[in-house]
Amino acid sequence: MLELLFKLLHELMFLAGYVGNGNAFPKQLSAQEERKCLELFQKGDMDARNTLVEHNLRLVAHITKKYSNEYNADDLISVGIIGLIKGINTFNPKKNTRIAAYISRCIENEVLMFLRTTKKQGNEVSLDETIGCDKDGNTLTIADIIPAENIDIVDKISVKADIKKLYKVMGKVLKKNEIDIICWRYGIGGKTKKTQKQIADILGISRSYVSRIEKKALKKLAEEFKRTK
């Protein structure tokens, strides 16, 4: 259970770094950089996964922009980032699918599922609503592209509510130096994302000490989330 909460916290803090903090979207990776990150991520390197996510955030902005006249832009970005993370997590290079095309579909699906839920809550849902055309010019409706099920754990969190809760829990269980390190590591709380080495240089301590503080802080957060879930 604690391991699951650690995973959820990492995803949540990663999202928090881009929702409402005014971070500029990084430029797209080159083909070579993208392949390298994919190779590293396949070996379990989560920093490489995060790099792939960060450098594809422009896709989220592009895809959600067309719905922003009717819905809150921050909400759409939040939902779109969830779709992006899911796309990166499930992308299989062996299938020879272009990653941009694959994750674009994941982002679009996540946004459309959000729109379906929003409309359903307002008794306005129509799965026959036209939302565009496919590459062959055929009309697409929401029903055509929304998956039947949504099984990813990230879908179980209410992004804005949990980000708000994250900040509250941090203030409750973490010391000031722990909060500073967590905020720097994940780029939240208005701070710029930094490596452990960069933080160590700022604080005048060793990188290994920063690592220990970070792990201790994450454990505190996970245990508090477990108690309050």
Range 159-228 has CATH code 3.40.50.150: no
Helix/strand/coil for 133: strand
Range 21-156 has CATH code 3.40.50.970: no
Question: What pLDDT, on a 0 to 100 scale, did the predictor assign at position 96?
Answer: 61
Instruction: Give CA–CA dist 56/101, Å, rounded.
Output: 11
The closest alpha carbon to 202, from 223, 219, 185, 225, belongs to: 185
Instruction: Give CA–CA dist 190/17, Å, rounded.
Output: 8
Virtual CA dihedral for 215, 217, 223, 225, nearest 10 degrees? -120
* pLDDT higher at 221 or 97: 221
Domain with CATH 1.10.10.10 in the chain: 159-228
Model-wide pTM > 0.85: no
| pLDDT tens sequence across 172-224 | 899 999 999 988 887 777 788 788 899 999 999 999 999 899 888 888 888 88
Question: What pLDDT, on a 0 to 100 scale, did the predictor assign at position 148?
Answer: 37
Domain with CATH 1.10.1740.10 in the chain: 21-156
